[in-house]
Amino acid sequence: MEVMEVMEVMEVMEVDGNKKPMKSIEIFLSYICNYKCSFCFENDLYKEKNLSKEDITFTLKQAKKEGCNHVIFSWGEPTLDSNLLYYIDFSKKLGYEFILIHTNWFKTDKYTYLENLVSLWLTWMILSVHGIGPISDMITKKKWSFDSIYKTMANVSKIRKERLRDFMLDTNTVVCSYNYKHMYKLIKLLLYFPIKRIMITYPASEGLVLNDTYLIPYDKAIASLKEIVKLIEDKSHKDFVLQWFPHCVLSSKLREYAESNKYIEKQKIYDTLDQKIEGYNDGYTKIDSCDLCEFDSKCSWISELSFNKFGFPWIIS
Tally the domains of the chain: 1
Asked if residue 63 is part of any domain, the answer here is yes
Residue 299 — pLDDT band, cuts 50, 70, 90? confident
Cα separation, 126 vs 72, whole angstroms: 10
**DSSP-assigned letters across all residues of 203-239:** PPSSGGGGGSS----HHHHHHTTHHHHHHHHHTT---
Asked if residue 316 is part of any domain, the answer here is no
Residue predicted with more confidence, 41 or 187:
187
- In 3D space, the residue among 235, 291, 226, 231 whose CA is nearest the CA of residue 255 turns out to be 226
pLDDT higher than 70, residue 286: yes
Cα separation, 244 vs 203, whole angstroms: 8
Asked if residue 59 is part of any domain, the answer here is yes
Give the CATH number of the domain where residue 141 resides. 3.20.20.70
Q: What is the pLDDT of residues 139-151, one digit of tens each?
A: 888 888 899 999 9
Q: What angle do CA 47, 205, 68 make, to 5 degrees?
A: 70
Asked if residue 306 is part of any domain, the answer here is yes
pLDDT of residue 217: 85
- In 3D space, the residue among 152, 10, 130 whose CA is nearest the CA of residue 72 turns out to be 10
Asked if residue 317 is part of any domain, the answer here is no
Cα separation, 302 vs 203, whole angstroms: 11
Cα separation, 252 vs 297, whole angstroms: 17
| 110, 118 Cβ separation under 8 angstroms | no
Asked if residue 56 is part of any domain, the answer here is yes
Q: What is the pLDDT of residues 12-68, one digit of tens each?
A: 445 455 555 667 888 888 777 777 777 776 665 555 556 788 888 888 888 888 888
> Average pLDDT in the 237-254 region?
84
Q: Which of 100-104, 258-262, 277-281 has the lowest mean pLDDT?
A: 277-281
Per DSSP bridges, beta strands 168-174 and 197-201 are parallel
Q: Name the residue range of residue 185's domain.
A: 2-310
- Which one-letter amino acid corresponds to residue 144? W
pLDDT of residue 262: 41
- Sorted by sequence, the CB contacts under 8 Å of residue 72 that are 6+ apart come out as 24, 25, 26, 27, 100, 101, 102
Asked if residue 158 is part of any domain, the answer here is yes
Q: Which residues pair with 127 in a beta bridge?
A: 103, 171
Would you call 103 helix, strand, or coil by DSSP? strand
Q: What is this structure's pTM?
A: 0.83
Asked if residue 209 is part of any domain, the answer here is yes
Query: How many whole angstroms from its chain centre is CA 156?
Result: 18
